[in-house]
């Protein structure tokens, strides 16, 4: 009888930089960026920690790479769209992508070594503005304002103590049970006559605010001419 080989739990598939980065992204999505350590990454890949350094220099290179991967998921402006449509689609896509990678929102513009996807993303956004009549200062204003709104909205959205209609109702019931609603009539009106109405979605606040920003940028760019 041939003795069975003892399994070590180590991966037998070839390790590559792409595999390291993908696993790092998955690890960050699972437990946040603080969970991303070289030791845990090696465990996830089923390799010795030192073998990672054949493919990446250090954790900073991994962070740069996974943020670049996130930027690659964001829809680039379509040159066939007018600038408002392009910016609306891009901002909506950015929000959806960051919601998939919630840990990344505070790091999106923080890395000093952006990757090729990040550079391409930023360049295409600026191109959509500059080739549609925006001056360089107005393009800078627009880029900063839209990104600040998207990232800030996602952070606020993630901080809310509810996601579903049922959870919202439970939060509202708790507030109204704790505080006499007649003492806070305007807040009560907002809860009862707006937030608890059928079809309410906090996402609509994002769309409303984004339209205000785009309309304001349109007026400002026209006035500058």
Read off the pLDDT of residues 83-131 as tens digits, 9 standing for 90 and up.
Answer: 999 999 999 999 999 999 999 998 888 888 999 999 999 999 999 999 9
Is a pLDDT exceeding 70 seen at residue 223? yes
Read off the pLDDT of residues 118-146 as tens digits, 9 standing for 90 and up.
Answer: 999 999 999 999 999 999 999 999 999 99
Q: Please compute, for residue 184, the number of CA atoms within 13 A of its CA located in the half-sphere on the CB side.
A: 12
Q: What is the pTM of this model?
A: 0.86
Structure tokens at 111: 């890395």
Average pLDDT over residues 6-10: 45
Report residue 13's pLDDT band, with 50, 70 and 90 as the boundaries. Answer: low
- Cβ-contact 57, 72 below 8 angstroms: no
Q: What is the mean pLDDT of the chain?
A: 91
Read off the pLDDT of residues 27-40 as tens digits, 9 standing for 90 and up.
Answer: 999 999 999 999 99
pLDDT for the residue 57: 94
Average pLDDT over residues 212-223: 94
């Amino acid at each position: 009888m041939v003795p069975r080989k003892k399994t070590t739990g180590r991966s037998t598939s070839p390790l590559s930089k792409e595999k390291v980065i993908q696993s790092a992204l998955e690890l960050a999505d699972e437990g946040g960026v603080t969970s991303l350590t070289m030791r845990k990454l090696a465990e996830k890949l089923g390799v010795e920690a030192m073998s990672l350094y054949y493919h990446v220099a250090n954790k900073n290179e991994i962070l740069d790479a996974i943020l670049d991967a996130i930027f690659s998921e964001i829809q680039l402006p379509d040159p066939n769209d007018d600038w408002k449509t392009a910016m609306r689609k891009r901002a909506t896509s950015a929000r959806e992508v960051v919601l998939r990678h919630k840990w990344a929102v505070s790091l999106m513009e923080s890395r000093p070594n952006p990757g090729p996807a990040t550079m391409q993303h930023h360049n295409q956004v600026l191109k959509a503005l500059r080739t549609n009549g925006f001056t360089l200062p107005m393009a800078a204003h627009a880029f900063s304002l839209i990104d600040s709104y998207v990232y800030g909205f996602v952070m606020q959205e993630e901080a809310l103590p509810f996601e579903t209609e049922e959870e919202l109702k439970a939060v509202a019931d708790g507030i109204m049970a704790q505080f006499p609603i007649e003492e806070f009539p305007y807040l009560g009106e907002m809860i009862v006559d707006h937030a608890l109405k059928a079809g309410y979605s906090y996402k609509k606040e994002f769309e409303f605010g984004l339209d205000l920003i785009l309309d304001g940028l349109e007026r400002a760019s026209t006035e500058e001419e």
